[in-house]
Structure 1
């Protein structure tokens, strides 16, 4: 225990004396795997980069870049640091982007929001108002989340402006509701085992295509079906809602999809939309963010803008 505390204290002293400008060099070195290219990227001399690499090697007690023939490759530690350094650089960028006020008509800022492809499709239709006239220097980056990120929430929220997900996955973090949606079923047009409507027997007997299937990332309606006592025979799992038509067409598989995108999916394959044979609980999509952004004026503008834009979506039928 004493050895561990001593090690932590020594590392804290080293960190306090560390030049944080090295972070920028480290990020570039891990991206470029070349002193020459790093110097060109940072617009500095090669000796300056070599000196920085020496300091980094001493600090981490690792070569970081190891010669392999006529090139360099990352050591295992450097491979791990590559991801962490990119996250740290993004965090630094966000610190210096923070302003005491925010004017979307004049200020420049990029927002990053994690979301599913389903939410991208729905939100994309609501964002027609994000124009040069309203926010000429504002850009919105919608990036796909995945099961691993969902499992790491809410820590992952520190590195982005938010995540769009339905209620039931996150708690104890701020949110604003965006829109509601219902569930329908997707089946192949050629599926002769299904008539004009699905039955609960069909749901129990037919093979399924699921989107997401982990303890932290799952389809809420499919989970509800299991609670009702029906264990779907899952034949294929895809980490996408919009890919479902391609794994259903020409098969006996069925799937649950959100009503707001169902009709657009019909054009992506030989599939049809049918009502859900059970009373699937509707979902409410929300924007969730880390509390550190609560008082950020730019972030406040973003969440208010997204909420207002989604209020313009067509009403559910």
Structure 2
């Protein structure tokens, strides 16, 4: 579990790729808003494998890898300082596999930030399934930085799931929009399986139920944050499709996660997984706190 000091630390996964640098810039701006420090971490996993070629002349394989990692961390630190010169930055190269390294770092952080599809010169730290693995196993919320920068006045979109998983995502989203001073779009989708037998005249009852679930899920939070403008959307759609569509106008999409297993969003299945891979803006994956 993160300590109070850790709650004020944002950890960023670095792999020497442009995507990782985009994650650093996003995290640096977020650190200013949170009054947080930055910790830049890269993973060196190749030391556990046989050498595939000669080291740099005059260097061991390990020395060469750490030198390369150091250059990547220096580049990332410079990018952070350009965005937020007042933010404290520390950096470290850690031997281990990317998901395990970042999951370990997350235990002492308030937020973990990674790029969407890095294939860097140090290691493929956040490529494809690795980003999903980090989001699944981290002990703190994870932001996967991807897509376009739609501006810091753009809304935040949150998936509303009337469960303890959805509650954690809602809490994160309200805190984010309150700090950023932007509107919140709260989305709840509904539907029924093919062949269910219900017809259009019966949809009214389903819509009423969905609107009630959305209102009940938001009730305490709208009272806690009365100044936050909330746009409510109840949609007969697949959750992933609706969230991906809304990401075109958002600065952040927030979804829930079970942790240590399948990612979930508004419905059971691969909703969060789809959003992480296809959203047009950064995605925050939030899991309930351990009890």
TM-score (norm 1): 0.21
TM-score (norm 2): 0.22
